[in-house]
């Protein structure tokens, strides 16, 4: 049984409010309508597209928290962060991220997403990558979504460095793994005191 437009739009608004990261495709499946219908409903209701919703949520939640670099310099969209603990970002692979001849994402985009997330998760004014050990486990293609998850393995000790592990996934499949050794300015201050 098809629901009327008014009811569908009410449910659409509620669903997006509960989960701002839901895609138009997922909404179309949920309400048994076309993706185009979802897009038209969103336009009528003045609900921005997914990318803008993610950016808005991230700016509201994290812009005051991230210290090591501005939120807009993180590659991908930060969707969760707990400084010196963990963070998550997403990167939708688009035409500008891939090689034209085969549609495979250039590795530096995956590295940049992981590396910038490793910097962002550090609770310090200055965090720089001193060393990285990385592994690409499979190719990523255009239109795939890469979810990077950073975990701070140690938050640093005087004379030491902070180690951040970042694992990136497309769906359940790991596509990238990196261990980043991070220099942070407050460790040097602690050591001098």
- Going across the sheet that includes 173-184, the strands are 77-82, 86-92, 145-154, 162-170, 173-184, 127-136
pLDDT at residue 115 in the model: 96
Mean pLDDT of the chain: 85
Please, which pLDDT band fits residue 170 given cuts at 50, 70 and 90? Answer: very high
When mean pLDDT is compared across 32-46, 74-88, 99-113, 148-162, the lowest value belongs to: 148-162
Q: Which domains does the chain have, with CATH numbers?
A: 5-47 (1.10.10.10), 66-192 (3.10.129.10)
Collapsing DSSP states into helix, strand and coil, what is residue 22?
A: coil
Angle at which helices 5-18 and 24-31 cross, to 10°: 130
Q: What is the distance between the alpha carbons of residues 13 and 9, in angstroms, rounded to a whole number?
A: 6
**Tokens of residue 2, six digits:** 């098809």
- Residue of higher predicted confidence among 136 and 24: 136
Q: Which long-range contacts (CB under 8 A, 24 or more apart) does 36-41 make?
A: 38/12, 41/5, 41/8, 41/9, 41/12
Percentage of the chain beyond pLDDT 90 is 54
**Tokens of residue 107, six digits:** 């590795």
Asked if 77 contacts 90 with a C-beta cutoff of 8 angstroms, the reply is: yes
| Mean pLDDT value across residues 180-189 | 74
Please, which pLDDT band fits residue 133 given cuts at 50, 70 and 90? Answer: very high
- Residue of higher predicted confidence among 193 and 14: 14
pLDDT at residue 126 in the model: 82
pLDDT higher than 60, residue 62: no
- Residues 6 or more apart in contact with residue 39 via CB below 8 angstroms: 24, 49
pLDDT at residue 7 in the model: 92
């Amino acid at each position: 049984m098809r629901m009327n437009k008014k009811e569908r739009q009410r449910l659409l608004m509620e669903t997006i409010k509960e989960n701002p990261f839901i895609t138009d495709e997922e909404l179309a499946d949920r309400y048994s309508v076309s993706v185009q219908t979802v897009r038209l409903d969103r336009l009528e209701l003045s609900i921005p597209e997914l990318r803008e919703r993610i950016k808005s949520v991230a700016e509201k939640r994290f812009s005051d928290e991230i210290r090591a670099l501005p939120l807009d310099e993180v590659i991908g969209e930060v969707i969760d962060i707990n400084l010196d603990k963990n963070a998550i970002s997403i990167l939708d692979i688009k035409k500008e991220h891939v090689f034209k001849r085969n549609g495979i994402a250039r590795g530096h985009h995956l590295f940049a997403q992981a590396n910038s997330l490793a910097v962002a998760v550090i609770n310090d004014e200055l965090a720089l990558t001193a060393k990285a050990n990385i592994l690409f486990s499979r190719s990523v293609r255009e239109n795939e979504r890469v979810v990077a998850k950073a975990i701070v393995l140690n938050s640093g000790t005087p004379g030491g460095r902070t180690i951040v592990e970042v694992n990136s996934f497309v769906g359940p499949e790991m596509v990238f793994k990196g261990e980043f050794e991070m220099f942070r300015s407050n460790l040097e201050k602690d050591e001098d005191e």
